[in-house]
Amino acid sequence: MARKKISLIGGGQIGGVLAQLCALRELGDVVLFDIVEGLPQGKMLDIAEVGPVDRYDVNLKGTNSYEDIKDSDIVIVTAGLPRKPGMSRDDLIEVNSKIMTSVAEGIKTYAPNSIIIVISNPLDAMVTLCQKITGFPYNRVIGQAGVLDSARFATFIAWELGVSVKDVTAMTLGGHGDDMVPLVRYASVNGIPVMELLEQKYNDAEKAKEVMAAMVKRTRGAGGEVVALLKTGSAFYSPASSAIAMAESILKDQKRVLPTCCFLQGEFGVNGFYVGVPAVLGEKGVENIIQFKLDAEEQAMMDKSVAAVKELVGSMK
């Protein structure tokens, strides 16, 4: 059986971690593309040379030519400028739109049958632009945001309750920005509602609500928190791992239900926009969007988040 081919567009921090994770998990042969000469070649040589130590055996190639992404099964796009302290994701839109335009044209030409996962910010706008330029079916162009946002939410819950992160289930919906929607009602520890556990811990329903509100706020600003601490660049380990979870589900047809930036056609009352929702990811990309009822408060937050996405997409030239 031929090995799968994974192409990574953008040889920065996220691109390098993506390449290493693909190799460690032996997901397939990997091509790392960047416009800077020597950068992707050097990173891939570095990763290849540790194969005997980490016991993986896949082909790893760094390149400055889109031709090398030919016949990719999956393309993960990280190309674009990272955020700097004080910048919002939206500030990046003009410069990263230009970068995404040339990337999408390269993918369309050389990897026309691939499934694309976009990580570049501002996420919701970049996925929209990528799909528009490639003309690929909507199920084959998706964005990574919800897996990471949900993981951040789950991390904060685990720390607060003193339980293993492995046993926390939490999910965020909506756009990848300050208006994202962490679903408090559905957050659980091995099926037990988090709010119930917080009320037990504090023996006070109001205090439990306050603590949860602080975690929701921290989740919404979690990317900015990392940016402020690093001072140069933005998070890279966590977005890379999150995209790999999506890629692995697609490459191995695992049918995992993961929060994914998908094109909605009526689901959750949204039509014609890319928004984060739970989706089944398999060999065809998005195979199903999981719908469920939001309560009035959740729906109001979702509407606000979708409005922010619409405004962001509308601001693209």
> Does position 158 have pLDDT exceeding 80, yes or no?
yes
Tell me the pLDDT band of 316, cut-offs 50, 70 and 90.
confident
Sheet holding 74-77, edge to edge: 60-63, 29-33, 5-9, 74-77, 115-118, 141-143, 256-265, 271-282, 285-289
Mean pLDDT of 300-314: 95
Over 90: is that where the pLDDT of 53 sits? yes
The confidence band for 1, taking pLDDT boundaries of 50, 70 and 90, is confident
Segment 167-193 shows an average pLDDT of: 96
Alpha-carbon distance values, 283 to 73, 220, 247, 256, 287 (Å): 10, 31, 10, 11, 8
pLDDT mean over 22-37: 98
Q: What is the pLDDT, as a whole number, of residue 89? A: 65
Residue 194's contacts (CB-CB under 8 Å, 6 or more residues apart) are: 157, 161, 168, 170, 184, 187, 188, 212
Number of neighbouring beta carbons within 10 Å of residue 39: 17
Q: What is the mean pLDDT of the chain?
A: 96
Please give the pLDDT value at position 288: 98
Residues involved in catalysis: 176
Please state, in angstroms and rounded to a whole number, the distance separating the CA atoms of residues 182 and 131: 26
In this structure, the number of other CB atoms found within 10 A of the CB of residue 146 comes to 29
Model confidence over 268-282: pLDDT tens digits?
999 999 999 999 999
- Per-residue model confidence (pLDDT) at position 90: 73
The pLDDT of 227-246, averaged and rounded, is 95
pLDDT greater than 70 at residue 317: no
DSSP secondary-structure letter at 80? S
Structural domains of the chain sorted by starting position, each given as residue range(s) with its CATH number in brackets: 5-145 (3.40.50.720), 146-317 (3.90.110.10)
* 18 contacts 29 by C-beta, under 8 angstroms: no
Query: pLDDT exceeding 90 applies to what percent of the chain?
Result: 92
Dihedral sign for Cα atoms in the order 107, 110, 112, 115: negative
Q: Which residue has the higher pLDDT, 89 or 298?
A: 298
